[in-house]
């Protein structure tokens, strides 16, 4: 006889593990299948927007973030080749949502581990090193997987697919994505960045890199680079790590970025094509609901994937805990809200990508003009709001073609 839990969650990342916490706390029987043997640094998102922190609080998992090493960042310095030294501003990020401070940088895998522990403490079963997962949808879906001790089968009432961009569950149940790629990205954890102010994050563009620095306290920081596809081999192979760090030798940074270039790697370097995926239909089918990146994601440049994963988790858990009806129709509010949200985020991310992840003299000139436009007309900064507050809280006009048109035409 196979085990018949209420819910099987495939993938124990931010989306899956947070859902497991909420559902187990709500009294459902939950099995989480995670492919890693132990949580390790996979180079995922580590910058959580204030609205994502609010989602985490609502899910009852906020403590896992802070205990796992979460660090509040307070200021955003606008270091960029298009910003003159005397125009560099410190943007205060602590006041976007009442009751919440600035965004948080955290070690992703440490937080996933704490969340999975919390889920287990609440009664969930966690199966690490789960391999070759297959999901057959239906009113009583079937999940089979391999363990070191042999194959296993589960027959839950519902499956949550939360395997991230790999879309392992989605592909098996016939949910297809429209993918697009604008640039490439890479990321690495560093330590020994003692010269960098711990309250300050930086995002900017110079030459052929768009750089991000998110401090995590105690001289540690998560670094991300975005760069044109033609450079996709630059940070790979022997010497890749050194070239990655050397890319932070930038005129726009204080001391030409010495605090970063002198830092020590503290995790793997990973380089990937930065893909956005929008599902071609609702991200669910009979007996299966997708959450997190697996349900579609905007370009990572916006830094909202984590917040979305948490929002998905909360919305879906509330439905599961609030009603006995788990048929696809019951998830209509989720599907609708998510579609609206992803549309906005995808739109905003494409604006940010075009503005900040395109390179060369024309792109620099455009960034200068956009800055001037924004200084003149505060409303033009609307896109900047999009990575601090929830998408539905950003004024409508920021998502009109008219706005984008204006932004790019007036600055072309």
Partner 1 sequence: MMEKKTVHVNGVDLAYVDEGEGPPVVLLHGFPDSSYLWRNQIPALVEGGFRVIAPDLRGFGDSGKPQEVEAYGMQTIVNDVVALTMELGVRRPHLVGHDWGAAIAWMYAFLMPRRIDHLVALSVGHPGVFATPSIEQRAASWYMLFYQFPGVSEELLRRNGWRLFKEIMGRDGDHDRYLRDLARPGALTAGLNWYRANRSPASELRITRRFPPVLAPALGIWGAGDKALLEEGMAASGKFVKGPWRYERIEDAGHWLPLDAPDQVNKLLLGFLGTERPAHEERRPRRRL
Ligand X SMILES: Cc1cc2nc3c(=O)[nH]c(=O)nc-3n(C[C@H](O)[C@H](O)[C@H](O)COP(=O)(O)OP(=O)(O)OC[C@H]3O[C@@H](n4cnc5c(N)ncnc54)[C@H](O)[C@@H]3O)c2cc1C
Q: Which 3 state secondary structure label does DSSP give 206?
A: strand
- The residue (of 99 and 238) whose beta carbon lies closer to partner 1 is 99
End-to-end CA distance of the chain: 66
Question: How many CA atoms does the CB half-sphere of 30 hold within 13 Å?
Answer: 32
Residue 71 interacts, among partner 1, ligand X, none and using kind-specific CB cut-offs from 5 to 8 Å, with: partner 1
Q: Which stretch binds partner 1 (CB under 8 A): 5-13, 63-71, 123-131, 364-372?
A: 63-71
Please give the Cα distance from 369 to 335 (Å, whole number): 38
Choice from 34, 46, 55, 72 touching partner 1 (CB under 8 A): 72
Please give the Cα distance from 348 to 342 (Å, whole number): 10
Choice from 13, 69, 170, 257 touching ligand X (CB under 6 A): 13
Residue 103 Cβ, how far from ligand X at the closest point, in Å?
9
Please give the Cα distance from 118 to 64 (Å, whole number): 8
Q: Which stretch binds partner 1 (CB under 8 A): 37-45, 97-105, 221-229, 306-314?
A: 97-105
Q: Which stretch binds partner 1 (CB under 8 A): 10-18, 66-74, 251-259, 376-384?
A: 66-74
By CB under 8 A, tell whether 69 contacts partner 1: yes
Query: What is the residue-wise DSSP string for 289-340?
Result: EE-GGGG-B--GGG--HHHHHHHHHHHHHHHHHH-S--SGGGGHHHHHHHHH
Choice from 24, 77, 133, 316 touching ligand X (CB under 6 A): 133
Q: What does residue 217 show for φ and ψ, rounded to 5 degrees?
A: 85, 160
- The residue (of 187 and 204) whose beta carbon lies closer to ligand X is 187
Alpha carbon of 268 to those of 155, 189, 225, 240: distances in Å? 37, 7, 14, 11
Residue 204 interacts, among ligand X, partner 1, none and using kind-specific CB cut-offs from 5 to 8 Å, with: none
x/- track of binding to partner 1 for residues 188-217 (CB under 8 A): -----------------------------x
Residue 279 Cβ, how far from partner 1 at the closest point, in Å?
33
Q: Which stretch binds partner 1 (CB under 8 A): 64-72, 159-167, 270-278, 282-290?
A: 64-72
Tokens of 98: 């009442």
CA atoms 270, 271, 272, 276: torsion sign: positive
- Tokens 């975005």 found at: 226
Site of interaction with partner 1 (CB under 8 A) = 63, 65-67, 69-72, 94, 100-102, 104, 217-218
Site of interaction with ligand X (CB under 6 A) = 10-16, 33-36, 43-47, 130, 133, 162-164, 166, 168, 185, 187, 224, 292-294, 297, 300, 303-307, 309
């Amino acid at each position: 006889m196979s085990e018949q839990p209420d819910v099987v969650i495939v993938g124990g990342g931010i989306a899956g593990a947070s859902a497991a916490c909420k559902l187990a706390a709500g009294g459902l029987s939950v099995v989480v299948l995670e492919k890693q043997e132990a949580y390790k640094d996979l180079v995922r998102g580590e910058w959580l927007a204030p609205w994502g922190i609010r989602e985490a609080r609502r899910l009852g998992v906020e403590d896992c973030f802070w205990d796992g090493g979460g660090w509040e960042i307070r200021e955003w310095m606008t270091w960029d080749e298009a910003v003159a030294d005397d125009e560099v501003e410190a943007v205060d990020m602590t006041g976007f949502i009442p009751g919440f401070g600035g965004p948080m940088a955290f070690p992703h895998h440490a937080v996933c581990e704490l969340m999975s522990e919390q889920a287990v403490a609440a009664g969930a079963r966690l199966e690490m090193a789960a391999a070759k997962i297959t999901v057959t949808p239906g009113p009583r879906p079937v999940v089979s997987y391999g363990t070191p001790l042999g194959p296993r089968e589960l027959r839950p009432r519902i499956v949550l697919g939360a395997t991230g961009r790999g879309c392992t569950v989605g592909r098996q149940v016939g949910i297809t994505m429209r993918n697009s790629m604008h640039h490439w990205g890479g990321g690495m954890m560093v330590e020994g960045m003692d010269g960098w102010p711990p309250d300050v994050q930086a995002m900017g563009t110079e030459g052929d890199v768009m750089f991000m620095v998110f401090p995590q306290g105690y001289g540690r920081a998560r670094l991300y680079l975005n760069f044109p596809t033609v450079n996709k081999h630059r940070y790979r192979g022997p010497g890749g790590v050194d070239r990655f760090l050397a890319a932070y030798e930038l005129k726009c940074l204080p001391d030409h970025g010495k605090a970063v270039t002198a830092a020590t790697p503290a995790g793997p370097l990973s380089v990937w094509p930065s893909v956005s995926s929008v599902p071609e239909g609702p991200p669910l089918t009979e007996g299966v609901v997708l959450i997190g990146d697996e349900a579609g994601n905007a370009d990572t440049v916006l830094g909202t994937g984590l917040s979305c994963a948490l929002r998905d988790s909360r919305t879906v858990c509330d439905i599961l805990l609030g009603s006995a009806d788990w048929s696809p129709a019951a998830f209509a509010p989720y599907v609708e809200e998510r579609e609206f949200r992803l549309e906005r985020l995808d739109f905003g991310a494409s604006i940010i990508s075009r503005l900040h992840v395109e390179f060369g003299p024309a792109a620099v000139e455009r960034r200068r003009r956009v800055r001037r436009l924004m200084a003149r007309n505060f409303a033009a900064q609307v896109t900047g709001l999009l990575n601090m507050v929830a998408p539905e809280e950003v004024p409508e006009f920021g998502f009109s073609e008219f706005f984008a048109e204006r932004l790019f035409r007036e600055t072309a």
